[in-house]
Structure 1
Amino acid sequence: MKKKGVEAAKEKPVIRPTDDQARLLAKGLVRTSRFGALAALEAGTGHPLASRVAVATDLDGTPVILTSMLSGHTAAILGTPSCSLLVGEPGKGDPLAHPRISLFCEAVRIGRDDPAHDRLRTRYLARHPKAELYVDFGDFSFFRLDLARASLNGGFGKAFDLTRQDLLSPVDDPERWAALEVSAVAHMNEDHREAIKLYAEVLCKAEEAKWRLACLDPEGLDLVAGDRVERLWFDELLEDPQDLRQVLVTLAQKARKA
């Protein structure tokens, strides 16, 4: 006799095996997020504190936030670095039907003398240009939210557990990548706006808008137009940043043919 209801649901695995499609969805949610809900333990009380924060990513996909020392969530992650970040914007209809991911992290404050600071500043402002008004204020600091693991909900009945390795892109020489990224992004936005438009509207199938290139990394590029963000993945992981130029040319040619 066929089992129904609660009994049948108990026998069905809740967590699906992690595959490449789940990894790509998870990475895309993190890379394209403009904001997220940071969950931490309130300093002094230990009570759960949830706060909205603007989000960017480092080259390897690690989430990055910029916070004021006056904020309750800054005191929280300084006192207890273990925290979580929920990202994934709902669309039309039932918000629970849209993908989202909970990231389990350790918050690491990045000092202004840290070699990573300038790289994170550049990438953060590329995603949040209005933050230039306060990014250099003395009471603001960047935090990398170093990933431990994640819980992906791809919609009803689509749950996955992911590891750090599932979410991050290996970057052997971040400073070399960062230097080339700055020059390549500036060059593309100044001299190749047509190619950027093709990336967004043909390859990503986005709506027509004034798209610009925000960031580059070994796995793809981020395109922005106002509040809209699109992620274009490369066909394969790039080990050498010098390969970027040919990849960008090839993508433009592909879009023109399409």
Structure 2
Amino acid sequence: MSVEETKKQPGNSPVKETAALARTMIRAAQKGALGTVLQPTGHPYASLLLIATEPDGTPLLLISKLALHTKNLTADQRATLLIDATGLDADPLSGARITLIGEARPTTSATARRRYLERHPSAAGFVDFPDFSFYAFDIATAHYIGGFGRIIDIPGGDLLTDVAGADALIEAEPGIVEHMNADHADAIGLYATKLLGGAPGEWRMTGVDPEGCDLVLGARALRLPFAGRVTNGEEARKELVRLVGVARSQAA
């Protein structure tokens, strides 16, 4: 959803407008800069990590206990996560970025492994090493900068997707993703190129949640929003069929 499209939504406040954009940024991020408290000096320590998300949008990290940032988190779970959406902008400082502020802690979530590996298949080579484990980044608040003069703080709750009542969708998600990638790769390509402006290529679907789905091609990720909230596999199917119809009409 573009800035202008978001502003047209009825009842949107500046915080809600920005939160909608920020949720898209987080879902589309492939990597981020994790800030932890360096032990024992207390200095800020930044490291580059791959990112995935839970169904509700909580960022997921896969990190080794041998890494310095993990040792820092063992002593102090406070952290920041910088997501840069400036891309290849000629003037990056005019682009959007967001710093998430909260705590990173180990998670035993049932969805963490499959969602992370769908997003980053290369991690399959080390995900089962005994020193690696998944961490969830619990967002307390966030600081969004959308260019010069466009700065706003966003409550952490506004950056999460409501998954209440969507257990059926979360359970059906692996099958939806597998089916779409195996049997409807052409539809995924149309979503990416006709609806989201992506380059042609072998796009994959990596996740589905009540607000939309995530598409990936190499290092590029895109977020496809749904027109309305979906809570089960049948509702998701109907929306994906509707969206491919829209994409085909644009391709005609």
TM-score normalised per structure 1: 0.87
Preserved CA contact (<8 Å) 1:61 1:169: yes
Preserved CA contact (<8 Å) 2:36 2:45: yes
Cα distance change, pair 169–241 in 1 and its aligned pair in 2 (3 A): farther
Q: Distance in 1 between matches of 2:39 and 2:83?
A: 23
Quote the residue 2:64 is aligned against: 68
Q: Distance in 1 between matches of 2:174 and 2:231?
A: 17
Preserved CA contact (<8 Å) 2:106 2:135: yes
2:150 paired residue among 153, 158, 161: 158
Per-residue CA distance 1:58-107 (angstroms, 9 max, x = gap): 00011110000000000111211111100024323122111000001211
1:85 aligns with 2:77: no
SS in 2 for 1:230: strand
Q: CA shift at 1:39, angstroms? A: 0.7
Quote the residue 2:186 is aligned against: 194
- Write out the 4+ residue segments of structure 1 that deviate beyond 6 Å after TM superposition: none
Q: CA shift at 1:210, angstroms? A: 1.1
Q: Distance in 2 between matches of 1:203 and 1:19?
A: 26
1:53 aligns with 2:49: yes
Preserved CA contact (<8 Å) 1:59 1:174: no
Preserved CA contact (<8 Å) 2:78 2:103: yes
Per-residue CA distance 1:206-230 (angstroms, 9 max, x = gap): 1111111111111111111111111
Out of 172-181 and 94-103, give the one that drifted further: 172-181
Cα distance change, pair 48–19 in 1 and its aligned pair in 2 (3 A): closer
Quote the residue 2:35 is aligned against: 39
Preserved CA contact (<8 Å) 2:15 2:154: no
**1:1-258 alignment, distance < 5 Å:** 18-90=14-86, 91-110=88-107, 114=108, 116=109, 118-172=110-164, 176-258=168-250
Preserved CA contact (<8 Å) 2:169 2:231: no
Q: CA shift at 1:189, angstroms? A: 0.5
Q: Distance in 2 between matches of 1:80 and 1:246?
A: 45
Q: Distance in 2 between matches of 1:257 and 1:177?
A: 28
Q: Distance in 2 between matches of 1:124 and 1:48?
A: 26
Preserved CA contact (<8 Å) 2:82 2:100: yes
Q: Distance in 1 between matches of 2:32 and 2:220?
A: 15
* Stretches of structure 2 lacking an aligned partner (at least 5 in a row): 1-12
Preserved CA contact (<8 Å) 2:15 2:152: no
Q: Distance in 2 between matches of 1:236 and 1:30?
A: 19
Q: CA shift at 1:247, angstroms? A: 0.7
Cα distance change, pair 102–215 in 1 and its aligned pair in 2 (3 A): same
Aligned-residue CA RMSD in angstroms? 1.5
Cα distance change, pair 152–241 in 1 and its aligned pair in 2 (3 A): farther
Q: Distance in 2 between matches of 1:18 and 1:92?
A: 24
Return the letter of the residue paired with 1:105: G
SS in 2 for 1:239: coil
What is the identity percentage for the equivalent residue pairs of Structure 1 and Structure 2?
39
TM-score normalised per structure 2: 0.89
Quote the residue 2:8 is aligned against: none
Return the letter of the residue paired with 2:92: P
